[in-house]
Amino acid sequence: MRLVLCSNFLYMVSPHIPVLLEEVLRTLAPAPGERVLDCTLGLGGHAAAFLSSIGQQGEYIGIEADATNLSSARKNLRPWYGQCTLYHTNFRDIPSLLLPQVEIVFADLGLSSPHLDNPERGFSFRYDAPLDMRFDASYGEPASVMIKGASAEELTRVFSVYGELERSKTLASMVLQSSPKTTQDLRRIVEQCYVWRAPRVLPQVFQALRIWVNDECGALEQLLLFAPTLLKPGGRMGIMSYHSLEDRAVKHIFRTLCTPCRDPLTGAIATPAPFMRLTKKPVRPSASEQEHNPRSRSARFRAIRRIA
């Protein structure tokens, strides 16, 4: 861990540790010469492992919404520069990139360390910073502006659905009344609303706003609908999620893709399923990994393989 000077104060930066790295490689089994589409490049931790596995004849395509992360990843992946095609965009835009067929599609939906560790990004309630929360600071509106323009009904839905919070209507009313501009403004509102329960609720509140600001559920829906069509026969797709909303969406789509169509009268299989599950249950980090990397605690990894 190192210290970084930022806007006249120091903050802690955790080393980037790819989550479930061994399990991802074992399940998706990247082989020499294959093409990998990584929908969440981040700092390039999983990317470096994929590139080492696919060798000099392989090809890596990386998608990253955060320009700062993308810049860091370019430096980290310099040894494989000639094999990489990197895009600064959200993975919701993959259909417009006209990408080739691939053997592997991968997405790690978790926040990268710089998002949490850099106070200026406004993702964490542990620092005082502008209430922003955008993955791509050049696109869209920060959380403070979106809150100011929201209705009570919309903000209640955000806290109820994305944060799975009790008293979401009361919290929405208090937030709209105060119109928070910083992370600590919002923290004080949550503490007033939930009192002694605030420490447990704060992560859910910040999660809800982050999902809303970045339309994460809409982006994931687009990814789940389109990415499987990019897989070659035998291709593998794996997604790592970190909260129940994401995991339920991944579970539902993967189950649908792996379920054959049956004759409504006889129950016989009319059309075989185009995919099969590679993970019967979500893969979880070991106790050792959770201890070594606490941010991996809530990770869930699911994967499927295209049959035809």
Res 308: pLDDT: 75
Res 238: pLDDT: 98
According to CATH, the topology of domain 2-113+217-306 is Rossmann fold (3.40.50)
Res 128: pLDDT: 92
Cα separations (Å) of 216 from 153, 207, 209? 19, 11, 10
Range(s) of the chain covered by CATH 3.40.50.150: 2-113+217-306
Q: Which residues of the chain have pLDDT under 70?
A: 1-16, 113-117
Res 64: pLDDT: 95
Which CATH number describes the domain made up of 136-213? Answer: 1.10.150.170
The whole-model pTM stands at: 0.90
- Backbone region of residue 33 per phi and psi (left: phi > 0; alpha: psi in -120 to 50; beta: other values): left
Res 113: pLDDT: 67
d(CA 45, CA 48): 6
Residue 135 in contact with residue 65, Cβ under 8 Å? yes
Res 7: pLDDT: 32
Range(s) of the chain covered by CATH 1.10.150.170: 136-213
